[in-house]
Structure 1
């Protein structure tokens, strides 16, 4: 393939795309919060679509409106008689976030995935869940991860050289439990900024997650409360292209 690139003028002002990372967290916490939450229209993303569809299967109402999304929580729905089938598609975020959340709710669920998702690591998170009341079983052909039992409060120990998505999933799940819990990370956590993003989003829904020398402490019996209208920040990794354009042919305001 050949491409011809000709000089041109960069736009003077560009809106940064909304953050998919914040979008995942906002969808999940809105589904768990008391009250209705309104979100702006999120970026077109298979991963976000997978999270939204799984939350619908868990009982949340997620409706598209002219302004964005309206989310009503999953509370008050009758417990499903059969195990839920939650298709995470190829989204590691969906699986790693919703696995501990479903366990905290005591749901029987079978998580499925596509593409390379079955090859992505999950063992350290499963081990932490199994030490705290969850029964998990993986089937290989076709790949399926089944869970049963209710997650119990306690200490959740994770190595630091794993995905911070494990930590974020636990952060969103543990406030739902009846007792206090602690996340302990051994070593420096990779992508620690994403764990901080989760902690900040918890605060926007009224939950507290203080840091400790080893990780975070999460009180049980917390209730997520909808902020009503929720804003989502920009995705600066995608906005970086326009920042470079501003350096080369600017000025550009992002």
Structure 2
């Protein structure tokens, strides 16, 4: 993918209007995977058509599912659990760590041989945190040093059910183990220390798989399912991605005179930590037209420009906003007073070391920060912000966060590469300019 640099200057007027963000990426990945494992035909409406999700569609086709698209409807004819075919070539997952980790779970309990690779960013990310637990079901894994892609998987024909307690809360690792459990003989159990996003569990139920969820002491959960399981095709309506909504939302909060309505946003309570944190900062943010679609809560976000104050975000909130910390950090840089974002260890194993990259983004543009262990402290609006160059490390969320900083800062912000935004948020710049952002280039 050709690098695309961009310099962003302050928006000359407030953002205004109504808009919709692309479909939820987490739900889009899972809808393709589970539809491919189901018996019958599934229609998916509102699928995110970014590069990451399209790589998942290609992978499921290579594994034997029939997937077609007509207008904005995707049609998947599934093969059934245990019936995926061995692909004739390497599966290229592009930039998507979510797809690679979740698919590892599925492949580990299918008696086929597969090889996954990805772009330079994905090949640098650790996979051992899924490889290690999944090896316990009888699958074999081969990877480069540090558990990095390319990754070869020899799935097992007689998969053992796993019982695993996550050392660190991670929806991806949890989901990989649960997906493996669909074709294991017996009860698969995952315990998580803090409740993480539960799209996998919700979608299992949607496709007819019984999932038992019970509360553990503290904020943890125990999730169990009995395999082998049978999935029955069901149509899926994908809501707007709350992680994608974060960028026009924070931009509207920071740019004076803004008044924006973001329609049809997913409001799963395990995904709305950012909205809670912003309200604690004094954001003028209301939720309108709340409803349930496809088993997930949905609503419209009405946001107006606000003077924000510092916030102390507890560590137990991290799983519900793990992808939103870079853009929250930008909001904190413009807030009055000190903010402390606690328990960010999971950020170190994202598309980049996202904690270090977020600190670099802020520091390059005049914000003062301190890192204490896994906590990030941001000393709000002390000097004019902007004027720096942001290195994105091929991380789409860092690129969009940097663009929002440029729109609100006193001095222009340079972004070294924005090409990877298309992997998760196709049309991002056009959407922002449709609200009046005035991004050039």
Flag whether TM exceeds 0.5 (same fold). yes
Highest relative contact order (Cα 8 Å, sep 6+), 1 or 2? 1
Q: Structure 2 residue aligned with 1:120, among 117, 125, 129?
A: 125
Alignment partner of 1:232 is 2:238: yes
3-state SS of the aligned residue for 1:37? strand
**Offset at residue 58 of structure 1 (A):** 0.5
Task: Check conservation: 2:63, 2:84, Cα contact below 8 A.
Answer: no
**Offset at residue 8 of structure 1 (A):** 5.0
Unaligned runs of 5+ in 2: 1-6, 264-441
**Offset at residue 242 of structure 1 (A):** 4.5
Residues 149 and 83 of structure 1, relative CA distance in 2, 3 Å threshold: farther
Residues 119 and 220 of structure 1, relative CA distance in 2, 3 Å threshold: same
Q: Distance in 2 between matches of 1:2 and 1:79?
A: 47
Alignment partner of 1:70 is 2:75: yes
Find the counterpart in structure 2 of residue 216 from structure 1: 223
**Offset at residue 231 of structure 1 (A):** 0.4
Alignment partner of 1:129 is 2:134: yes
Task: Check conservation: 1:125, 1:158, Cα contact below 8 A.
Answer: no
Q: In the TM superposition, what are the counterparts of 1:80-95 in structure 2 within 5 Å?
A: 80=86, 85-95=90-100
Residues 36 and 110 of structure 1, relative CA distance in 2, 3 Å threshold: same
Q: Distance in 2 between matches of 1:134 and 1:126?
A: 9
3-state SS of the aligned residue for 1:18? coil
Find the counterpart in structure 1 of residue 294 from structure 2: none
Q: Distance in 1 between matches of 2:225 and 2:143?
A: 28
Residues 2 and 222 of structure 1, relative CA distance in 2, 3 Å threshold: closer
Alignment partner of 1:15 is 2:24: no
Task: Check conservation: 2:59, 2:92, Cα contact below 8 A.
Answer: yes
Q: In the TM superposition, what are the counterparts of 1:131-210 in structure 2 within 5 Å?
A: 131-139=136-144, 143-150=149-156, 152-161=159-168, 163-185=170-192, 188-189=193-194, 192-194=195-197, 196-210=198-212
**Offset at residue 154 of structure 1 (A):** 2.5
CA deviation string 1:67-100 (max 9, x = no partner): 32111113497844x7652111221011100011
Q: Distance in 2 between matches of 1:130 and 1:211?
A: 24
Q: Distance in 2 between matches of 1:143 and 1:93?
A: 13
Task: Check conservation: 1:90, 1:117, Cα contact below 8 A.
Answer: yes
Unaligned runs of 5+ in 1: none
What's the TM-score once normalised by structure 1's chain length?
A: 0.84
CA deviation string 1:146-200 (max 9, x = no partner): 1114162323324331532011122223122232221234xx24xx432x12111
Residues 218 and 239 of structure 1, relative CA distance in 2, 3 Å threshold: same
Q: Distance in 1 between matches of 2:174 and 2:119?
A: 23
Q: Distance in 1 between matches of 2:84 and 2:52?
A: 27
Q: Distance in 2 between matches of 1:158 and 1:42?
A: 32
Task: Check conservation: 2:189, 2:224, Cα contact below 8 A.
Answer: yes
Q: In the TM superposition, what are the counterparts of 1:101-116 in structure 2 within 5 Å?
A: 101-116=106-121
Q: Structure 2 residue aligned with 1:44, among 37, 45, 49?
A: 49
Alignment partner of 1:249 is 2:258: yes
Find the counterpart in structure 2 of residue 28 from structure 1: 33
Q: Distance in 1 between matches of 2:207 and 2:30?
A: 11
Task: Check conservation: 2:159, 2:183, Cα contact below 8 A.
Answer: no
